[in-house]
Amino acid sequence: MKNLLLASALLFLVSCNEKASKTNSNYPAGTEPEVNIVEQGKVLFEGRGNCTACHKEDQKVIGPSIREMAQIYKTEKADMQAFLRGETPAIIDPEKYEIMKVNLEITKAMTDEERAALEAYIYSFAP
């Protein structure tokens, strides 16, 4: 009887632990996103968006670093989505707008969800 009780308790603890590891406390049960939006943004940033041609994580190349973009847009409370849609002027290095125009055509053609993922990735570098 003692062994049966011990085995039942152990099975209960293992079952609870397994379920807890499968859920993410940031989302209500059953609403977890299939793919992390920041990861989607990273894939777009490094791939189809061609953003890495001008932007690196911590280093200014042609354009500002990703950290600088995140910090400035956050501090200024600027609308990154509007910029990616081509609706607002550049607030960082506006003198380089002519160079930016080529890649802005790429972001303007993205869906709202893709631009949101790109924005989430950039903001993931904000302090």
Q: How confident is the model at residue 29 (pLDDT cuts 50, 70, 90)?
A: low
Residue 24: how many other CB atoms lie within 10 Å: 12
Q: How much is the pTM?
A: 0.70
Domain borders along the chain are 36-127
Residue 35 clears pLDDT 80, i.e. is over it: no
Residues 6+ apart with CB under 8 A from 120: 37, 38, 40, 41
CATH of 36-127, one of 3.40.50.880, 3.30.470.10, 3.40.50.300, 1.10.760.10: 1.10.760.10
